[in-house]
Each structure stands twice: as structure tokens, then as C-alpha cells.
Amino acid sequence: MSLPRDFVRAIEAALPGDAIIREREQLLTYECDGLTGHRALPSLVVLPQGTAQVQAVVRACAAHGIPFVARGAGTGLSGGALPVAGGIVISLTRMKRVLEIDWASGRIVVEPGITNLAVTEAVAAEGFYYAPDPSSQQVCTIGGNVAENSGGAHCLKHGVTVNHVTGLELVLPDGELVELGGKGLDPAGLDLLGVVVGSEGTLGIATRVTLRILRRPEAVLTLLAGFPTTEAAGRAVSDVIAAGILPSAIEMMDALTIEAAEAAVQANYPAGVGAVLIVELDGVAAQVEEDRARVEEICRACGAGELRAAADEADRARLWRGRKAAFAAMGRVSPSYYVQDGVVPRTKLPLILRRIAELEAEYGLRVGNVFHAGDGNLHPLVCYDHRVPGEFERAREVAEKILFACVEAGGSITGEHGVGVDKACSMPLLFGEHDLAAMNRVRRAFDPASLANPGKVLPTPRLCGEVPGPYRAHPIEVAGLGERL
Amino acid sequence: MSAAPPAPASVRPGTLEEAAGALRAAGAAGRTVSIGRDGGDVILSTAGLTRILEHEPGDLIVIVEAGIRLSALDAQLAAHGQLLALDPPGDPTVGACLAANLSGPRRHRYGAPRDLVLGATLVLADGTVASSGGKVVKNVAGFDLAKLVCGSEGRLGLIARVCLRLHPRPAAARTVVVPLQDSAHAACLASAVLRSTLAPSAVDVHWPGRLALLFEGSARAVADQVATAGALLGAVEAGSDVWSEAGGRQLAARGRVSFAPGELAALLDAWPRAVVRAGAGAAYVPDPVADARPAGVRVLEERIREQLDPQGVFA
């Protein structure tokens, strides 16, 4: 779709030539994010440098009614950065500077295009780190983390992105600039940071982000426990939480994902087990030591055979490498796989794992389970062969049924990957008409013209193929598989 | 002679539906409503909304009606060895904690209401009941209205039900203090704590007077940290009355300041008395302070309010 000539002139006036991409071959890079099944070619991609350029671009979009999609590294898994027809993509990857490290305040101020890991690297020498650590942390950007409210393995104890962002400079969808928060906490008024973080680029574009940095703990201990079944491992997770222990991370991998990870990175996981747990404890040394004894006791009581602690930093890094490489490693055991992201209350882990096993048997498809068990955040990987006709559709069905089981168990349709386009039509599983309407009103307060990442997060008739009205049935409801909460 | 203004009516709904009905009625009659305080033609009390709807100890979550007081909730949670890690002074309701963004010394470790709320059900000015979030600790589905209403002072909607994240009750808790000479001394000590590997639940400056730290956890871990704090800062052990005294001062404070923690000395120089959360960068001061929100933020807040309460029912 071609853009109005006046609009293109405004963009050309605002940005240097090398910051505008319009060749089809180059535009293809931006046609999807990590959710590669959804693709759309943007009309134009811009790579602004600095807040003023972002503002100028957004102002031009507002003046001409052109929708825009902000994008970081494009690692998102819900299509949040999927271009919008007739719109442009604003890539923030050229804005990746550290602007300030305020050691005395425990804050770092960065541009949105910096990678998550680069933030920790910037403060590591002084013994600090940035806590949220999504598995894609080597490439994903802070701007993307802010948009998605990204989590990671260690958010069980230390919280997700929203708990670590203290300030944002935000370009609103009309091009105006607002400063939300700062270095201090508890500013007067509404918690605007709380609603902007995780709004998936629909409320504006963050051009500067102030983050909390934490002191590295005195002690870190990583335990690896092998269990006969995922159910036994799931029970251990529940028991650890119920015992009042708060590890920094509890991760689970099942036999299939262990096999894949071992093949990829030789993480040295025990052979022949049904599941492993990686339990990490951090804090003051005496507490870590005591918690370790109790965690080991609970794991043994739940049937753990092999139980060992990482011997040193290299060993610890190896254990985590296996976990963090698990998604990519699945390519070694299956030609294709479908990544799901769902959440259940922690006590429902054994239940949901049984349900997943039933679905595997029913559909004859393997499902790899690798997930943040401590907070009930599942990432089932449904394996299929894209060359076999119909298998993709069946894999999707399994993934959808897992999601439905999560909701039925009192959980959520996404713990960290976001709604994006992928799950916008599943929102009615969790939220009723009035809930979605209230969210939409907040969106309108920020973006009355619906230009910022339209079609994401909230279901629309165009996207979901149904007429808006007092009641919209979700396909799962229609199929008689469930009812509205 | 002008007539005295009519006394405000009061309404005390016992259910969500009654609350919605009261708001619809007020809106239809063109009357304004204030929640739990003066200011509106109608004062809506949440004293009839105090039930604990769900407590799942294994999931460390609780769902309550927002009129419940922290002390009543704590009685239930204590029986399960758990706590809601919010310790503002004065035993407010859960709804007030959110609406006024109330927290206490433990804010340092556990955060503010916005960090502990997992979901909320609001009754909007037109009587619509709208929920967001859920009852799991990790959830990014939809806009987080439960956080948005934190600090809303009852002007976006009635916070009716809240799902909160809980924490295990620590086995031991001990307090240490260091008497402060001046603001530079305070800043130096606070910085030493924040750059150490100590893991305190609270890092307060009670100004003028002392730096106070709270350590919680297993008895041995707490004892170790008390010893380390003694060696590092010259801190000596004190009783828990340190916290109740500071709580009284916080309760009496009429102003709140958000500041960069690195600028603690300047904050203390500017205020002769203050209760300061040194790590968070939040201070309670005796006098009202000017609204520090940038104009753009106030405009944005007003737009959100107009969207959710176009008639201006909430006073």
C-alpha cells in the first residue's frame, strides 16, 4: 500500500536518508517478529535516533492518520511487532546508549534499543545487575521488554519488568512527550508506569527508560534435581513454595526438552530421568544454605534421584545454558514446533501436566515442557512436522486446548509472551465485554485515533471475524469446550 | 440568609451489585460520590465489603473485598504462616492502600501496593463492573488496570475486589539502628547499606535521629546480618518500637516526596523532619508539598478520568 506523498516528505524532512528503509528486500526483514506464522510487509521502516526524531515521525503519522508499530529486536513471540497494513514500522535499534548510571541511587538510564544483557554488562563491574532476564536477553531490547512486561527465569523472586522500571520518557501517539516517574518511587497520581509497561506498544513509544539495578547477592546456589516424572517434579515445586521458601528461580524441563538441550549444549543433565528441576537460591549466605537443605529434603521426598549443586560459576552457567537454549534446541528433535505460553496457579501444575500428557496421547504429537515452574508459567512446545499435511493445524489445536486448560484451572492465556495478534481473539476467554471495554477506554485516553500498534492486545471484529455486540463467543466456547468466566 | 448545604447522604453497599446500583443512582440524580471520605454529595463506605473470598495458601494469593482492614486480613493469613507484605501505619483497608498508594517500611523489599496486586475488580461511575489481571503471579494479558488505579484516590472507580500476592511469614525479625550526626552521615550510611550484600526488608531514615534497618528471614540469617551491620555501620540492635514510632510520624505526615535515592542528603537538608524510605526514594514530610507531576502527566491522567468517568461522578 502506498503512503501519502506529503507524509513521506515529512518523514524525509525529519530523518537522514539512511534512516529510512523502503526497498522491498530490506522491508522483508521487518515483516514479522518471533511469531513467524504472521507476516505483513510494512510500507516503510524508519530508524530514528533520539527522542526528537521519534517525535517527528509520530507527529507525521498523527497528522496523516498513518498507523505505526514500534519495534525492538523483533524477538517477541506474539506478533506484537507485526506491521500493520498501510502503516510504518519505527525501529528503535539505533537508540541503544546508556545515558547515565546513578550508582548512589541504584538506577540506570538507557535508550530503548539497548539489549537486556547489555544493561547488566554495563553495571557488572561494580557488582550490580538488572534482574529481569528473558531467555532472549542477549538480543531482546529494553524497549521490547517494557512493551511486553517481560519476565524471565528469575522473576519468581525478583519480579518482572514492571517492578524494575522507575521512569519512562514516552512519546504519546499524538507526538507529545511525557515523563512518567523518575528515579524515585511512589510519585503522586495514577500508576501510569504500571499500565504503560506491558501495553505492547499501544499507548506510546518509550524513548528513555530508567531501571532499578540490584546488588549481586552474597550467595547464589544452583541445584539440579532429576525426577522420575514431570508430575513428581511439579509436586516438588508446590511443596517448596508451600514450605515458605522463595527461590530466585525454579525451572522445569521434561525428558524431551532435556534430550534436545543435551544434544545442543551438553548441559550435563542427568540421563534417563522424566524431568529435571533447576532451583536457584540467592541472598545472604546463611539463608541460602538453610534453604538449600530444605529444598533438597523436599526434592528427595518427591522422588528426586540425582541431586547436585553447581560446583562453580562455569558449571552454573552450563546448567542455565541448557535451559535457555531449550527452545532453539527443539529443532534438533522435531522439524517444527509451536510455542505456547500459559499460566496456572502453582498448585495446579500436576493437573495441567496430566492434561498435557492426555493431549499428547490423543493427538499423537509430542509436547516438550520447559517452563518457569515456580510461578506456574508453562511453555509447552508442541512438536509437528510441517511437511505432513494437517499436522500444523493439529499442533495448533493441541496448543489451544492447553491454553484453555490453563484458563479453566484459574490461570491466564499469557504469562510473558504477550497477547499481540496471536491471542487477541482469546482475550474473551479471560475477560468479559465490560472488562475489555474498560481497557479500551484507557487505550483511547492515550490514543484516540488508534494509530499505535492497532489490532493488538484487544480483540476487534476485523481481527476476530465476529460482529461486535453485547456478547462475543470465543471459538472454544462455540465448540462447547468451555464457558465464560 | 443562605441555607446550609445539605448534609451528604451515605451509602454502605454490602455487595458489588449494591455498589453498582448506588453509583448508577447517584449518576442519574446528578450527584457526586466520594469513597470513604468527605467531598461528594454521597459518601460511599466500603465497610460492608470486607469478605475474604479466596485464600489459596499453596498459591500464595488471596482475593478479598476491598473494604477489609489489613489487621483482619492478617489474622487469617497468620494462621497459615503467610502475610500481605504491606505495612502502612493506621490499619487502613486494602482498597485505601491501593487508592492512596500506602505502604510502610517493608516497601524496600516487597514494593508498594502496585507490586503486590495481581488483579482487581472495579465498579466504574456508570455502574459497570470491570476486572483486569487475575489470580496468578505472572500474567500479561490485557491492560493492567489494577496497577493503574493505585494512587487514583477513588476518582477512577470503586476498587471493589482485589487479588493480592502473599509472602511467607519470616521466622525471625530484628531491628538495628545507627544514630545520625547529619545529612551527609545519613547518605553515607544508606549508600553503604545499598551497596552491600545485606538484604534488609527496610532501610529507613527517621530524620532527625537514626538510620533503621529491619532484617527478616531465618534466625541464623538474621543474626548474621545483624552482626554484619554492626561491623559495617556500627549499628546496634533496637526494639520494634522504632517502627511504631516512625509509623506514627508517617501517619501524621501531610506530604510525600519522591526523590532519587542518591540525593538523600539534599532531601534531609530541605526537611527538618521526615520519615524516609532511603532505598526506594520516597519520603513522608510534615507539610503538604507542591504537586511535582509534569503538566503532561496531569493532562494524561485527566484524559483517563474522562474516559472512565465522563460525567465526573467521583469527587
The per-residue pLDDT for range A66-79, each reduced to its tens digit, is 999 999 999 999 99
Q: Does residue A456 lie within any of the structural domains?
A: no
- The Cα A366–Cα A395 span in angstroms is 9
DSSP-derived letter for residue A222 is E
| Residue A284 maps to a domain | yes
Query: How large is the average pLDDT for residues B257-274?
Result: 98
Among all residues of chain A, which has the CA nearest to that of B83?
A244
Check which CATH number belongs to the domain holding A118 and give it: 3.30.465.10
CB A157 within 8 A of CB A249: yes
What's the rounded Cα separation, in Å, for the pair B165 and A468? 35
How many Å apart are CA A56 and CA A51, to the nearest integer? 9
| Size (chain A), residues | 485
**Residue carrying the nine cell digits 490485557:** B142
Kindly provide the residue ranges of all beta strands, DSSP E only, lying in A263-353, ordered along the sequence: 275-283, 307-309, 336-339, 342-343
* pLDDT bucket at A467, cuts 50 / 70 / 90: very low
Shared-domain flag, residues A223 and A310: yes
Does B172-285 match B52-168 at the fold level? no
Q: What is the pLDDT of residue A472?
A: 44
One domain for residues A339 and A443: yes
Q: Are A35 and A425 in contact (CB under 8 A)?
A: no
Contact (CB<8Å) B197/A215: yes
Q: Are A307 and A208 found together in one domain?
A: no
For the residues A388-409, what does the mean pLDDT come to?
A: 95
Q: What is the pLDDT of residue A267?
A: 84
- Residue A468 falls inside a structural domain: no
Q: What is the pLDDT of residue B3?
A: 61
**Is the bond preceding B208 in cis, omega lying within 30 degrees of 0?**
yes
Q: What percent of chain A has pLDDT over 90?
A: 84
Residue A265 confidence (pLDDT): 86
Instruction: Say yes or no: A35 and A83 in one domain.
Output: yes
Read off the pLDDT of each residue in A7-21 and give the average, rounded to a whole number: 97
Tell me, yes or no, whether A344 and A285 share the same domain: no
Domain ranges of chain B: 9-44, 52-168, 172-285
Hey, is the C-beta of A172 within 8 angstroms of any chain B C-beta? yes
Same domain assignment for residues A102 and A42: no
Q: Are residues A394 and A444 in the same domain?
A: yes
B130, B191, B197 ranked by CB distance to A218: nearest: B197
Please compute Rg for chain B using Cα positions. Answer: 21
- For residue B2, pLDDT over 80 is answered with no
Of A114, A346, A108, nearest to A240 by C-alpha is: A346
Q: Give the helix ranges, DSSP H, for A86-197.
A: 116-123, 142-148, 155-158, 192-196
Confidence of residue A135 (pLDDT cuts 50, 70, 90): confident
A476 in a structural domain = no
Sequence-ordered list of residues with C-beta below 8 angstroms from that of A53, at least 6 positions apart, any chain: A14, A15, A19
A263 and A183 part of one domain: no
CB contact under 8 A, A190 and B194: no
**pLDDT higher than 50, residue B151:** yes
A151 to chain B, any CB pair closer than 8 A? The answer is yes
Q: Give the residue-averaged pLDDT of B21-49.
A: 97
Domain boundary pick from A304, A329, A354: A329
- Region B246-252: what's the mean pLDDT? 98
pLDDT band at B302 (very low <50, low <70, confident <90, very high): very high
Task: Tell me what pLDDT residue B310 has.
Answer: 97
In a domain, residue A477? The reply is: no
Say yes or no for a CB contact (<8 Å) between B137 and A184.
no
pLDDT at A268: 86
CA distances from A336 to B34, B116, B142, B245 (A): 57, 38, 29, 62
Residue B147: its chain A contacts at CB < 8 A? 162, 191, 194-195
Q: Do A427 and A363 fall within a single domain? A: yes
**Confidence label for A326 from pLDDT (cuts 50, 70 and 90):** confident
> Which one, of B212, B296, B216, lies nearest residue B249 by Cα?
B212
Q: pTM for this one?
A: 0.95
CATH of the domain at A9: 3.30.43.10
Give me the phi and psi of A252, to 5 degrees please.
Answer: -120, 140
Return the pLDDT at A324. 82
Q: Tell me the ipTM for this assembly.
A: 0.97
Greater confidence (A153 vs A292) lies with A292
Q: Which domain holds residue A422?
A: 334-451
Flag the least confident range among A122-136, A140-154, A458-472, B20-34.
A458-472
Interatomic CA distance for residues B141 and A429, integer angstroms: 11
Domain boundary, last residue among A91, A113, A137: A91
Helical (H) or strand (E) element with A380:
strand A380-384
A163 touches chain B (CB under 8 A): yes
How many domains does chain A contain in total? 4
As beta bridge partners, residue A210 has: A109, A167
- Alpha-carbon distances of A3 from A44, A67, A334, A447, rounded to whole Å: 8, 11, 42, 21
Point out the residue among B259, B280, B297 whose CB comes nearest to the CB of A189. B297
Tell me how close the Cα of A271 comes to any Cα of chain B, in angstroms.
Answer: 31
Q: Looking at the complex, does the CB of residue B119 fall below 8 Å from at least one CB of chain A? A: no
pLDDT at B18 over 90: yes
The answer for B 128-167 residues in CB contact with A (under 8 A) is 128-132, 134-145, 147-152, 156, 167
**pLDDT value for B295:** 97
The CATH number of whichever domain residue A368 belongs to comes to: 3.30.70.2740
Minimal CA–CA distance to A30: which of A91, A116, A93?
A91
Of residues A463 and B149, more confidence is placed in B149
- Do A103 and A211 fall within a single domain? yes
CATH class (in words) of the domain with range B172-285 = alpha beta
- CATH class (in words) of the domain with range B52-168: alpha beta
Task: With CB atoms and an 8 Å threshold, state whether B61 touches A345.
Answer: yes
- Is residue A467 in some structural domain? no
The predicted model gives A231-259 an average pLDDT of 93
Q: Is A475 inside any structural domain?
A: no
Q: Mean pLDDT for chain B?
A: 96
Q: Which of B138, B151, B257 sits opposite A189 (nearest CB)?
A: B151
pLDDT on residue A478: 45
Q: Is A33 among the domain residues?
A: yes
Collect all residues with Cβ–Cβ distance below 8 Å to B147 and sequence separation of at least 6: A162, A191, A194, A195, B114, B117
Does one domain contain both A362 and A415?
A: yes
Are residues A141 and A228 located together in one domain of the fold?
no
Looking at residue A474, its pLDDT comes to 46
Mean predicted lDDT score pLDDT of chain A: 93
What pLDDT is attached to residue A420? 96
Residue A447 binned pLDDT confidence (cut-offs 50, 70, 90):
very high
Q: Residue A223: is it exposed, middle or buried by C-beta count within 10 angstroms (0-12/13-18/19+)? A: buried
The single-letter code of the amino acid at A164 is: H
Which of B112, B258, B296 has its CB closest to that of A176? B296
* A321 confidence band (pLDDT: 50, 70, 90): confident
